[in-house]
Amino acid sequence: MRVAILQEAQSGKGFYPFDALAVGYVTMPDLFSCEILPARIGFSIFLEPFGVGHDLEVAQDIKGSQVYYCSDVDRRFKDRLIQSLITPRRVSNDV
């Protein structure tokens, strides 16, 4: 995604481009590659022109707080997510 598209989308209420990944992790954690690593907020000269500048740095060789970081998601995630969205579910009205 281009940065301009994300910036435009984020100006609207309720947009967060990583919601699908959060739902995916809760429902399909076996498809994510995660580990505990040191992390910190750093500065990126490459992000500065976009008015951001700060980024999340996660690596074995830095000093920072230990976080549970997911660095990758299995290729099957997209198909499973789409299938779960288009598959009708029965809703029970029982209280």
Provide CB contacts within 8 A for 67, sequence distance 6+. Answer: 36, 37, 38, 39, 58
DSSP string for residues in 64-88:
-EEEEEEEEE-THHHHHHHHHHHS-
**Look-up: residue for tokens 């997510």?**
81
Whole-number Cα distances in Å, 67 to 52, 56, 60, 71: 22, 11, 11, 12
Q: Residues 8, 18: contact at Cβ < 8 Å?
A: no
In tens digits, the chain (95 residues) has pLDDT values of: 445 554 555 555 555 556 788 888 888 999 999 999 999 888 777 777 777 777 788 999 989 999 999 999 999 998 998 888 888 877 777 66
